[in-house]
Chain A
Amino acid sequence: MSNPSNSLKISTFVCTWCDLTVSAFAADGTRRNHCPSCLHSRHVLDQVEGGPTDCLGRMSPIAIAVLRTGDWMVVHRCVRCDELTSNPVCKDDNQLILMRMAVRPLAQTPFPLEAFGTL
């Protein structure tokens, strides 16, 4: 006899940007909060006051931050209320988008980089 509640124990969410159905836990057991394919997230936690928020806007990845341990974090920005969050990257996140975000500032510098060649 099949138990229908077994299938409900596998928690998934649907990405708000690319509509991919993602399992909520990564392979190593950590909980995901962004889509591994397009790295977009959803604004469910209020960072200023803590606790849940009712914004539920889409959060797009804007930057890569580095911890002192050398691990990468993805900085997300809510497209609806402009709040910022940072989340650790998972092992199976899209490496092309991660590397593209990391080298993006150096591709579009506001000043010429030739001056640093003499340093």
Chain B
Amino acid sequence: MPRRNRSDGRDGTRRPQRHKGVPGDRGVPRTGDFRCVQCRLDVPVTAPGTAHRNHCPNCLASLHVDRRVPGDRASDCRGRMEALSVSVRPDGEWLIVHQCLTCGELSANRIAGDDNALVLVRLALRPLRDGSVPGRILLAL
């Protein structure tokens, strides 16, 4: 049975609204922060060395949200993107090539300053790890 108090606004004493801060204040989440889909790490969107962070600095996983242009948020796939390989620009910057596990789409993003260096080196060493292909290539050279 509902309580019959008159504090629900009908007597004119409305409870004042809770104070809502602006993003960036203490306790208010900054917009653009995301939680990693793979390791559940809370990632701030501000990153050292880049203004376009799109992957988790701990496990390098990403989410398929962009379609053709980076940042357009036009894709409706929303699949998890896994780091596939490392590419190097002519000026020496590393790029991570991601592949969507749902639809197989590829994308490239620059690494950030706080990305896990051990995971990056493991990714870069992946073509040279034990397998028949690098041995065959080195024998042919």
Determine whether the beta carbon of A84 is less than 8 Å from that of B107.
Answer: yes
Q: Is A86 an interface residue (CB 8 A)?
A: yes
Q: Is B111 an interface residue (CB 8 A)?
A: yes
Determine whether the beta carbon of A47 is less than 8 Å from that of B132.
Answer: no
Interface size on B, residues (CB 8 A): 35
Interface residues of B in 73-89 (CB under 8 A from A): 84-88
For residue A99, which residues in chain B have a CB less than 8 angstroms away from its CB? 134, 137-138, 141
For residue A43, which residues in chain B have a CB less than 8 angstroms away from its CB? none
Of all chain A residues, the one with the shortest Cβ separation from B107 is A84
Q: Is A62 an interface residue (CB 8 A)?
A: yes
Interface SS of chain A: mixed
One digit per residue, 1 when the CB lies within 8 angstroms of any chain A CB and 0 when it does not, for chain B 43-65 equals: 00000000000000000000000
Of all chain A residues, the one with the shortest Cβ separation from B68 is A48
Determine whether the beta carbon of B117 is less than 8 Å from that of A111.
Answer: yes
For residue A8, which residues in chain B have a CB less than 8 angstroms away from its CB? none
Q: How far is the CA of A86 from the CA of B105 in the complex (A)?
A: 10
**Chain A residues proximal to chain B, CB less than 8 Å:** 47-48, 62-66, 70-72, 75, 77, 83-86, 89, 95-96, 98-99, 102-106, 108-111, 113, 115-116, 119
**Chain B residues proximal to chain A, CB less than 8 Å:** 67-68, 84-88, 92-95, 97, 99, 105-108, 111, 117-118, 121, 124-129, 131-134, 137-138, 140-141
